[in-house]
Amino acid sequence: MRFARFVWAVLAYDVLVVLWGAYVRASFSGDGCGRHWPLCNGEIVPHAEQTKTIVEYSHRVSSGLTLVLSIVVFVWAMRAFAKGSAVRLGAALGLAFTVSEALIGAGLVLLRLVAHDVSIRRAISTSLHLGNTFLLLASLTVTGLWAMGSPRVKLRGQGWLGWLAVLALLGVLVVGASGSIAALGDTLFPSRTLAEGFAQDLSPAAHAFVRLRSLHPFIAIGSGVLVLALASFAPAARSGEQVRRFARAVAISYFVQLGLGALNVTLLAPLWMQTLHLLSADVVWVLLVCLAASALADGEATEIVSASPRAETSAARPAP
């Protein structure tokens, strides 16, 4: 179905915007447009004299396109799917989280929580930014699944499997939030050697970003127990090839993510490694959402009912 393919394309694009945002942070370009939003240095199209202005402005343009794409997804869903459709709900959530994403980004700029700022407010806002990003990606993911015929999620009556899925999702959200702070620590308080980095982590005089950075690996391992438990038990509790495929993908991707995290620490968090680590985190999150949605689905896949005879319909088929 064309709508589903479009949603997956928007999801992929949003991931690229997230990665570019990480580059903005790592290159200290967050203040490239000054204390102006949505204008850049008081102009719609700035006369860029600094590289950081080009970087920040390009991020704003690419982020603005995500809002346009989310509106397209929402309007298309309203026209192509019947009232009460889960696809409509997913599209509405995607648009809502896209708007809140823009507002959080605006707050970071207007409050100057960018570039070399080391305040606790920045840590909190950055964590909220990451959490909102994950919820946006989750909304697009379930929208794509539901548009392909997967049943909507049912939480009631799921027993221990429902609790395990919720805890695994919350665990990865916490890992993401702590990872965003760890990345700030790597950027603002870089280490020249691995030994120096460990010394920074253990120093009682270290900045809060550095101390929190040392906790991130342990949070990731603890969350990994929940993620791998869901990947192990979901196929036994819910039959179906789709659940088994997603479970295998989640397990493999999480081990890859842990390996990349260890490599990131060993290499002293170079920019390219931070970007790869973040990409892997996004992949783990999307696959985990797919697994949870499939394991907690309310019945078997059904045919999508369109809102009008002119609108598209599609026969249900399992998500890839």
pLDDT in tens, 244-285: 999 999 999 999 999 999 999 999 899 999 999 999 999 999
Mean pLDDT of the chain: 89
Is residue 135 domain-shared with residue 224, that is, in the same domain? no
- Which pLDDT does position 195 carry in this prediction? 84
In a domain, 33, yes or no: yes
> Dihedral angle at the C-alpha atoms of 165, 166, 167, 172, nearest 10 degrees?
90
Q: What span, in angstroms and rounded, lies between the C-alpha atoms of 73 and 95?
A: 8
Q: What span, in angstroms and rounded, lies between the C-alpha atoms of 77 and 261?
A: 38
Q: Convert the pLDDT of each residue in 7-16 to its tens digit.
A: 999 999 999 9
Q: How confident is the model at residue 204 (pLDDT cuts 50, 70, 90)?
A: confident
Is residue 138 domain-shared with residue 190, that is, in the same domain? no
**Measured between alpha carbons, how far is residue 178 from residues 163, 166, 287 in Å?**
22, 18, 20
Q: Is the dihedral of CA 206, 261, 24, 6 positive or negative?
A: negative
* Among the ranges given (41-50, 224-233, 268-277), the one the predictor scored with the smallest mean pLDDT: 41-50
Reading phi first (left if > 0) and then psi (alpha if -120 to 50, else beta), residue 115 is in left
Is residue 1 domain-shared with residue 145, that is, in the same domain? yes
In a domain, 320, yes or no: no
Structural domain boundaries, residue 157: 153-297
Is residue 91 domain-shared with residue 182, that is, in the same domain? no
How does DSSP classify residue 280?
H
Is residue 70 domain-shared with residue 24, that is, in the same domain? yes
Q: How confident is the model at residue 203 (pLDDT cuts 50, 70, 90)?
A: confident
Name the strand (E) or helix (H) holding 88. Answer: helix 86-110
**225-232 mean pLDDT:** 97
Question: 112-131 burial by CB neighbour count: b if 16+ within 10 A, else e?
Answer: bbbbebeeeebbebbbbbbb
Is residue 121 domain-shared with residue 216, that is, in the same domain? no
In the chain, the percentage of residues whose pLDDT exceeds 90 is 68
Structure token pair of residue 100: 């809140």
Pick from 225, 215, 143: nearest CA to 178: 215
Is residue 142 domain-shared with residue 204, that is, in the same domain? no
Cut 0.85: pTM above it: yes
**87-110 mean pLDDT:** 95
In a domain, 19, yes or no: yes
Is residue 160 domain-shared with residue 129, that is, in the same domain? no
Structure token pair of residue 2: 């064309």
Is residue 105 domain-shared with residue 157, that is, in the same domain? no
The label of the residue with tokens 């909304």 reads 139
C-alpha angle with apex 277: 275 to 280, nearest 5 degrees?
110
Structure token pair of residue 167: 């805890």
Query: At residue 302, does pLDDT exceed 70?
Result: no
Is residue 308 domain-shared with residue 171, that is, in the same domain? no
In a domain, 309, yes or no: yes
Query: At residue 26, does pLDDT exceed 70?
Result: yes
Q: Domains in the chain: how many in total?
A: 2
- Which pLDDT does position 316 carry in this prediction? 37
Structure token pair of residue 178: 């702590």
The label of the residue with tokens 């319909």 reads 313
Is residue 212 domain-shared with residue 283, that is, in the same domain? yes
Is residue 212 domain-shared with residue 129, that is, in the same domain? no
Angle of helix 2-26 versus helix 159-188 axis, rounded to 10: 40
